Amino acid sequence: MSAKVSPHCENWPGKNGHYFTLRTTFNQPGHLATVVAFDLPINDLIPPGMPLDSFRIEPDATPSDGAKQ
């Protein structure tokens, strides 16, 4: 399984808002991959006066070896 987050925020078409996309791929060898994507609005996450350029998403540096902690 892999996950990808869009590197920047996009303007929501026809609305006064912004969003980022979270895309997750489930892949099993020998089978077709399943892709699930969510467009997540950020208007509720950032303060109204904060410039959009100040908002960024950092990748998780935690190793993902599948082991539960």
pTM of the model: 0.46
Q: What does the alpha-carbon distance between residue 29 and residue 35 come to, in Å, rounded to a whole number?
A: 15
Query: What is the distance between the alpha carbons of residues 4 and 23, in angstroms, rounded to a whole number?
Result: 5
Residue labelled with tokens 């006064």: 16
Total structural domains within the chain: 1
Give first-to-last CA distance, the chain, whole Å. 18
User: Of 51, 47, 62, 60, which is closest to residue 9 (Cα–Cα)?
Assistant: 51
Establish if 28 belongs to a structural domain.
yes
pLDDT digits (tens, 9 = 90+) for 10-69: 777 666 677 778 888 888 888 888 888 887 777 767 777 888 777 776 766 776 655 554
Range of the domain at 42: 1-12+23-48
| Domain-located, residue 67 | no
